[in-house]
Amino acid sequence: MTIMIDVRGVEKSFTLHNQGGASFSVLEAVQLQVVAGECVVLHGQSGAGKSTLLKALYANYAVSSGSIVLRDGEQRVDITTALPRRILALRERTVGYVSQFLRVIPRIPTLQVVMQPLLDLGVDEAVCEDKAKDLLSRLNVPERLWSLSPSTFSGGEQQRVNIARGFIVDYPILLLDEPTASLDAANRQVVVQLINEAKARGAAVVGIFHDEDVREAVADRLVDIRAI
Amino acid sequence: MSNTAQTWQDIEPLLSVQQLSKFYAPGKGCGDVSFDLYPGEVLGIVGESGSGKSTLLNSLSARLAPDAGKVIYRSEQFGELDLYAGEESLRRQLMRSEWGIVHQHAADGLRMNVSAGANIGERLMAVGERHYGDIRARAEQWLQAVEIDSNRIDDKPTQFSGGMQQRLQIARNLVTHPRLIFMDEPTGGLDVSVQARLLDLLRTLVAQLGLSVIIVTHDLAVARLLAHRLMVMRRGEVVESGLTDQVLDDPQHPYTQLLVSSILQN
């Protein structure tokens, strides 16, 4: 079994220099291995550090110590020490991150927003467009919205556009930060299908899900992140 | 950026900056700055007014000789160059061809009393283009690329709005297909709606042309949208650097934390 994510001895603390230097430790001695085709769901109460760990796996947060090794084809990259451009290369084709929030860029139409990550890989435009349309349809984003910028969409519509964008590339590693929060049952079910399809093609998935039905449907294993 | 797992490690930096210092007075200027810039990379330099950002940019772009340190540039035409060890004429040559500079004030980067077409054509002529028809055709093409109606080609920049002037400045720079662009607060002083359009245009052009960019801005939203990585400057020193979203979402240095926490949320 191919280990896609290998987390060893990760610690993370935050120091708020402008609030009296308050310092608090969020992660301590975290160990986690995730293999291809497996979905690990991070479990624990609010504030336990689930999101912090997920962000560290995307190198969005810097860890205080320990190593996070991601598999990139035949290479293994420790993202806690890799150069920024190496991490950006990983994010382009190897590791995807989907949150419930879309970072809207003004003026860009929805279809383009969704297609862009795949276009950036040099994939033929028609292929990207078909895949984007398919994802938007499955996620019940009405076709009349595709040519508009998502900046004026409702929160739920933006969230589904963001999910479509997150699933347009077949990333070998997928990080999901509550992508189903506040979606209705039908759309939650679509996301469950997307996750299961990603697992079936061999993706290693790490996610945070508060809905129990989603968790049941996708998780191979729950990992407890305990509040410290 | 067009990094792939196969090729990313074999590429040499376009620009290598080694312990560059330039001080006007203690704390005024920039000190001991080192970094590499790779092809296709966009580096943002952020920090408040007076932190040394513009001094650094001027020193990097061969417009202000440093007190100490080196800037090595790998030129397409001239090979590896130690910028300040070489002739002034060489630096001028680079600025006309392989480099572009987008100034905060369009009037510093444009000739305000000649037509838009001539502003673009001038750069082409500086690299040896002579055919009038070709030059005019290329100028029209670039006006369209920066979303200026090509029937404005004979108008002077003084007849343009601030946002259009800024876009014309970009067209003037890009017409010679530079590899490295320096930008100093390119969206400063523009209305928010005009800013969004310019940013979107810049982002698209940078990605399409695979440009390397060093952009100075005090606007962290601009930095987030355009830059792959950031250097945070304070009182002439780089206090923090790294991947853009890591620096902005998990700032380590007290000054960066202050900068980030000072942004109004909407």
- pLDDT score for B56: 94
Q: What are phi and psi of A154, to 5 degrees?
A: -70, 165
Distance in angstroms (rounded) separating the CA atoms of residues B42 and B183: 11
Shortest alpha-carbon distance between residue A217 and chain B (Å):
32
* Interface contact flag, B5 A89, Cβ < 8 Å: yes
Contact between A93 and B3 under an 8 Å Cβ cutoff? The reply is no
Please list the ranges in chain A whose pLDDT falls under 70.
227-228
Contact between B228 and A88 under an 8 Å Cβ cutoff? The reply is yes
Strand partners of residue A41? A207, A222
- pLDDT score for B160: 95
- pLDDT score for B189: 77
* Interface contact flag, B200 A75, Cβ < 8 Å: no
User: B180-218, pLDDT tens digit by residue?
Assistant: 999 999 988 788 778 888 888 888 888 888 899 999 998
Residue B3 has pLDDT above 90, yes or no: no
Residue B178 has pLDDT above 80, yes or no: yes
- Chain B residue with CA closest to A74: the answer is B5
Distance in angstroms (rounded) separating the CA atoms of residues B97 and B89: 12
- pLDDT score for A64: 95
Q: Answer whether CATH 3.40.50.300 is correct for domain B2-98+178-265.
A: yes
For A106, which of B200, B252, B254 is closest by C-beta distance? B200
ipTM score: 0.92
- pLDDT score for B6: 46
- pLDDT score for A228: 54
- pLDDT score for B9: 63
**Residue ranges of the domains in chain B?**
2-98+178-265, 108-172
Between A and B, how many residue pairs show a Cβ–Cβ distance under 8 A? Answer: 72
| CA Rg value for chain B | 18
Helix (H, G, I), strand (E, B) or coil at A10: strand
* Interface contact flag, B257 A72, Cβ < 8 Å: no
Which of A88, A103, A120 is most worth mutating to test chain B (most B CB atoms within 10 A of its CB)?
A88
B12 touches chain A (CB under 8 A): no
A127 touches chain B (CB under 8 A): no
Shortest alpha-carbon distance between residue A41 and chain B (Å):
23
Considering only CA atoms, which of B245, B227, B231, B261 is closest in space to residue B45?
B231
- pLDDT score for A162: 95
For residue A118, the chain B residues in CB contact (below 8 A) are none
Contact between A172 and A4 under an 8 Å Cβ cutoff? The reply is yes
- pLDDT score for B195: 83
Confidence class for position B4, pLDDT limits 50, 70, 90: very low
Share of chain B above pLDDT 70, in %: 95
B16 touches chain A (CB under 8 A): no
Q: Which residue has the tokens 């430790």?
A: A25
Shortest alpha-carbon distance between residue A63 and chain B (Å):
10
Q: What angle do CA B175, B178, B184 make, to 5 degrees?
A: 95
- Chain B residue with CA closest to A76: the answer is B5
For residue A73, the chain B residues in CB contact (below 8 A) are 5
A22 touches chain B (CB under 8 A): no
User: A12-61, pLDDT tens digit by residue?
Assistant: 999 999 888 899 899 999 999 999 999 999 998 888 899 999 999 999 99
B25 touches chain A (CB under 8 A): no
The angle, 0 to 180 degrees and rounded to 10, between the axes of the packed helices A155-167 and A185-200 is 10
User: B104-152, pLDDT tens digit by residue?
Assistant: 999 999 999 999 999 999 999 988 999 999 999 999 999 999 999 999 9
